[in-house]
Amino acid sequence: MSEQRISERKTQHIDIACNEDVAFKTTGTLLDGVGLVHEALPDLSLDEIDTSVRILGKTLRAPIVIAAMTGGSERSRAINLELARLAQERGFGFGLGSQRPMLQHPELLDSYWVRDVAPDVLLLGNIGVIQASKLDTRVLAKMVSDVGADALCVHMNPAMEVVQPEGDRDFRGGLETMRRLAGELGVPVVAKETGCGISYRTARLLKSAGVHAVDVSGAGGTSWVAVESKRAEGDRRSLGELFREWGIPTAASVMMTRAAGMAEVIATGGIGTGVDIARSIVIGASAGGIARVVLQALERGGPDEAGALLDRVEIELRTTMLLVGARDIDSLRRVPRMLSAELGAWAALAGDGAGHRD
């Protein structure tokens, strides 16, 4: 694919994600199915609450990651620089969009380079598992090194690909690719979905392959099947409309992957508030990832509005911790919780281990 066509596709993705109706309609994250117990005597000061967390070898000021979105065009470059700068200022993590374009066209590296403005952030690289299956580990290691990433998200997106006009159709070899990269890459591998969630079975397979971290990217936020169906025509568009609601809700996927033994779980997919992040952590997540709402704020009001949104999310997280009597993130993991019947039913698919918390 030519550099111009790649840039056009990436720009289309940004425009569709920001401006069109591509959210899940009937499928929610089920995070509202996590009930938290209010403590009227928390015996805490809001200022003393410690939100810091260590994940993928780096300490974040709060368990918040600005999740993978874009790369491969001049507009992507501007977005990545602005959001990475905001992450640096706040001590959050930051994820790049798929780096496949820079592998095909090395001159696009500039659209992914953010270390000048974000030297200290937890930076997550990104590549599709199907593309990774066709590339030598040394090529992928150089790709990670070229952007200064601390870990590599290897995304699994079969539902999105089968709707995408130029998408992949053959998904064989993914697990072996994960196994190879986990053993050879030299930085942590994060198995990532793109809006459909990760099941207990898939998480167990990933663990058996040596992968110990996932980004669930569950159902309930942006439907990337819907995004691709906006670009598709004919039968492929009809297919996208049918599978728009496909996936495992974010909360259910967090519980499944933790029950499967994943050491680190990033909860993305419909995360929009600090309460969402707190609930994710209570059921087993290591951090929460925010994507579309931050991008929309940036497009609407620039870095000031995007920064204000991130500050609000952090304040909401701290407030939730105060109201449940959690002094720090470890304490938050241990607070009492009640699950709705629907979330409990999803969790039960992983067996008795679904409710376990370390």
pLDDT tens, position by position, 88-114 = 999 999 999 999 999 999 999 999 999
pLDDT for the residue 2: 61
What tokens were used for 153? 């998200």
> Mean pLDDT in the chain?
93
Answer for the pair 220, 27: CB distance below 8 angstroms, yes or no.
yes
Confidence band for 24, pLDDT divided at 50, 70 and 90: very high
pLDDT tens, position by position, 113-154 = 999 999 999 999 999 999 999 999 999 999 999 999 999 999
DSSP state string for 62-123: SSEEE-----SSHHHHHHHHHHHHHHHHHT-EEE----HHHHH-GGGGGGT--TTT-SSSEE
Residues in contact with 123: Cβ distance below 8 Å, sequence separation at least 6, in sequence order:
84, 93, 94, 95, 96, 114, 115, 147, 148, 149, 150
Element (H, E) at 289: strand 287-290
Please count the other Cβ atoms lying within 10 Å of the Cβ belonging to residue 175: 18
Q: Is the dihedral of CA 69, 125, 115, 289 positive or negative?
A: positive
Answer for the pair 35, 339: CB distance below 8 angstroms, yes or no.
yes
pLDDT for the residue 61: 98
Confidence band for 315, pLDDT divided at 50, 70 and 90: very high
**H-helix segments, the chain:** 3-19, 74-90, 100-104, 129-133, 137-147, 158-163, 174-184, 200-208, 224-231, 234-242, 250-259, 274-282, 292-323, 329-333, 341-348
Please count the other Cβ atoms lying within 10 Å of the Cβ belonging to residue 178: 23
Kindly tell me if the per-residue pLDDT of 358 is higher than 80: no
| C-alpha 48, offset from chain centre | 28
- Hey, which of 9-18, 96-105, 159-168, 323-332 has the most confident mean pLDDT? 323-332
Q: How far is 37 from 41, CA to CA, in rounded Å? A: 12
Q: Domain 3-351 belongs to what architecture?
A: Alpha-Beta Barrel (3.20)
pLDDT for the residue 16: 86
pLDDT for the residue 167: 80
CA 11 vs CA 18, 217, 252, 290: distances in Å: 11, 21, 32, 20
What tokens were used for 305? 């509005």
Lowest mean pLDDT among 135-139, 204-208, 223-227, 269-273: 223-227
* Percent of the chain predicted with pLDDT > 90: 82
Kindly tell me if the per-residue pLDDT of 354 is higher than 50: no
Of 284, 289, 285, give the one whose Cα is nearest residue 124. 289
Of 86, 84, 73, give the one whose Cα is nearest residue 15. 73
- Hey, which of 13-17, 21-25, 160-164, 207-211 has the most confident mean pLDDT? 207-211
Of 277, 268, 272, give the one whose Cα is nearest residue 319. 277
